[in-house]
Amino acid sequence: MENLNETERERLWEDIQNALLNDRIDEFRADFLEMHPYDQAKIFEEQTPEIRMQIYTYLSPEEVADVMEQIDVDHVERFFTEMDPRFAAQILGEMSTDDAVDILNQLNKNQVASFLTIMNSQASNEIKELLHYEEKTAGSIMTTEFVVIHEKQTIRQALQHLKMEAPEAETIYYTYVADDDKRLVGVISLRDLIIAEADWLIEDVMSDRVVSVVVGEDQEEVAKMMRDYDFLALPVVDFQNHLLGIITVDDIMDVMQEEASEDYSKFAAVSDLDHTDESAFSSAKKRLPWLIILLFMGMFTASLIGSFEAALNQYAILAIFIPLIAGMAGNTGTQALAVAVRGIATGDIEKQGKATLILREAVTGLITGTCCGILITAIVYLWKGNIYLGILVGISIMVTLIVATIAGALIPIIMDRLKIDPAVASGPFISTINDIISILIYFGLATAFMNLLLG
């Protein structure tokens, strides 16, 4: 099955739609099921509720489950709400356990309870095991559909067991090995299983240096580990090293997208990124708390400027440079913030050291501040013909850029130390903080320069 481009997808959908409108079930199934599940999902999402209801009657729960696994989990609630509850429960029962749990986490408690009651007991019990784990932890994203073999088995016995369990497993590229107490003791790759002699024991072939994660580990840390080790799957254990599940690379890709989206939301000072199908009221509800906080911080900045009213009355031209200095502070602070947050997220900051990062940013601020300060001094002098005004603005720019750069790097490090997500030190916040710093520096120096400016 090959992925389709937009033109091919539209052409095929016309054929499928004709089959639907004329009740040609066999023709619809032949065309629809020939497509890759991703293309099925893209076509399915674009349809009206009426057409989707017709599609449900033509496909089995297992076939619809394949489609649902390709749809962004944030968008599936409306589909499960419009379905017959029994049909929806059957679909969840056919899905991978971790995918079903992701979907149920998007639904309200009454819907979850209803689906779990209707579902067959085996699927329901497997889903319940994962539902009680805290969100955004290894336990919440792992799957229990994996193959485990015993260390005392022979290669022949292990391959026979693998052949039986493989159809239900999430992946078979790694097979995990347990002892009599079901503790994780090793791992063996599919390649090693295939090339080993049939009568060899698993314990003689397996690798006993197994990298695993504890069930309560944060999903972001799990993603870093899988990135660093280039794993396709990672075992999840409890504190006694009992094997509970595995996390596969496709789940980690979803986590990375989710974490990136969350960090971007915080950088934009919104609680969560708006969805395109979200109402204006919902979007405003998410954004207002942050905007109100920033509003009060802005009012503090305004009152700070007001406290220097005497200096402005004596030399009104000072006002025209406020946006320049505040803007430069915000820009350089945001640049340093981005470097620091990325270093914390990737773990690079631990390798090079926090002090090294702060020192580097301070030197960067000194270099950029000096260059910009000299440049703006010359420009203001040529523009206004007042060397002291030029020096005032130039020194203000230089000092502001140094302090703003250090603040931009230091604030997220402090937040990380306090166990607060450093992405909260988002662009709008660092800009507002640096506005306050720049105003204090600028007007503090202006007060000191006042006699020279007026003389």
* HSE-CB of 268 using CA atoms within 13 angstroms: 14
d(C-alpha 198, C-alpha 201), whole Å = 8
CATH of domain 148-250: 3.10.580.10
> In angstroms, what CA-CA distances link 178 with 148, 185, 188, 229, 346?
7, 5, 11, 22, 32
Tell me the pairing of strands 148-150 and 174-178: parallel
Structural domain boundaries in the chain? 6-135, 148-250, 280-454
What pLDDT was estimated at residue 426? Answer: 58
Architecture of domain 6-135 in this structure: Alpha Horseshoe (1.25)
Instruction: Give the bridge partners for 177, in sequence order.
Output: 149, 186
Instruction: Tell how far CA 4 is from the center of its chain.
Output: 28
What pLDDT was estimated at residue 5? Answer: 66
* HSE-CB of 174 using CA atoms within 13 angstroms: 20
What pLDDT was estimated at residue 89? Answer: 92
Q: What is the pLDDT along the chain (455 residues), one digit of tens a residue?
A: 455 666 776 777 788 878 887 888 888 888 888 888 888 888 888 888 888 898 899 999 999 999 998 888 878 888 998 989 999 999 999 988 888 888 888 888 888 888 899 988 888 888 888 888 888 889 888 988 889 999 999 999 999 999 998 888 888 888 999 999 889 999 999 999 999 999 999 999 999 989 999 999 988 888 888 888 888 889 999 999 999 999 988 888 877 777 666 655 555 555 555 454 556 777 677 667 766 777 787 788 778 777 787 777 778 888 888 888 888 888 888 888 888 877 877 677 777 788 888 899 999 999 999 999 999 999 999 998 889 899 999 999 999 999 999 988 888 888 778 777 666 555 667 778 888 888 889 888 888 888 887 76
d(C-alpha 212, C-alpha 233), whole Å = 10
Architecture of domain 280-454 in this structure: Orthogonal Bundle (1.10)
Q: How open is the CA angle 206-207-211, to the nearest 5 degrees?
A: 135
Tokens of 93: 């029962």
Q: pTM for the full model?
A: 0.59
Tokens of 157: 């016995």
Of 84, 22, 23, 19, whose CA–CA distance to 53 is shortest? 84
A 10 A CB-CB count for 31 gives 16
A 10 A CB-CB count for 212 gives 19
Query: Is-same-fold flag (148-250; 280-454)?
Result: no
> Three-state secondary structure along the chain?
CCCCCHHHHHHHHHHHHHHHHCCCHHHHHHHHHHCCHHHHHHHHHCCCHHHHHHHHHHCCHHHHHHHHCCCCHHHCHHHHHHCCHHHHHHHHHHCCHHHHHHHHCCCCHHHHHHHHHHCCHHHHHHHHHHHCCCCCEHHHHCECCCCEEECCCEHHHHHHHHHHHHHHCCCCCEEEEECCCCEEEEEEEHHHHHHCCCCCEHHHHCECCCCCEECCCEHHHHHHHHHHHCCCEEEEECCCCEEEEEEEHHHHHHHHHHHHHHHHHHHCCCCCCCCCCCCHHHHHHHHHHHHHHHHHHHHHHHHHHHCCHHHHHHCHHHHHHHHHHHHHHHHHHHHHHHHHHHHHHHCHHHHHCHHHHHHHHHHHHHHHHHHHHHHHHHHHHHHHCCHHHHHHHHHHHHHHHHHHHHHHHHHHHHHHHCCCCHHHCCHHHHHHHHHHHHHHHHHHHHHHHHHHHHC
